Amino acid sequence: MSSLPPPNQTQSLIAGSLTKAWTIAVVITHLLISGALIALAISAHTVGKPTWWLASQTSGPLSILLIVPFLAPAAVIVTVVRASRFAALAGLLATAILAATSVVDVSRSPGIALGEAILAGCTALTTIAAIAGRRRSVVSGF
């Protein structure tokens, strides 16, 4: 006889995936990070110190660089919705992308680079927090 209660539906889901509440929290957080990136882009354009990814807004082949910083939160959102057990890996990759974007912008527009670095830190903290929201496997020992 096992002293554990019978597994319910949430326990039968894949171990390592995020719970529903944590999935919603991560998606909302990365949507807010995308909004903050838009605010940084508008600020950089208004101040007249465009970042490296905004400086190429011409209709040339480099205009694709405009979406580079937005790939990080978008990748996390898609990963969390599709296969949330890889949320930590996607968050780590997003943190690296935003941090690299920040480092490149330090010489051109240091204020915007600081904002990008703060958003990279927010992405890292969200990733660390999401690890706590993973489902655990229930092992009865029998």
Tens digits of per-residue pLDDT, 23-48?
899 999 999 999 999 999 899 888 88
* Single pTM value for the model: 0.79
Write phi, then psi, for 117 (nearest 5 degrees).
-65, -40
pLDDT tens-place string over residues 12-22: 467 778 888 88
Question: Of 78, 90, 94, 98, which is closest to residue 37 (Cα–Cα)?
Answer: 98
Question: Of 32, 33, 65, 61, which is closest to residue 50 (Cα–Cα)?
Answer: 65
Residue 67 confidence (pLDDT) above 70: yes
Q: What percent of the chain has pLDDT over 90?
A: 42
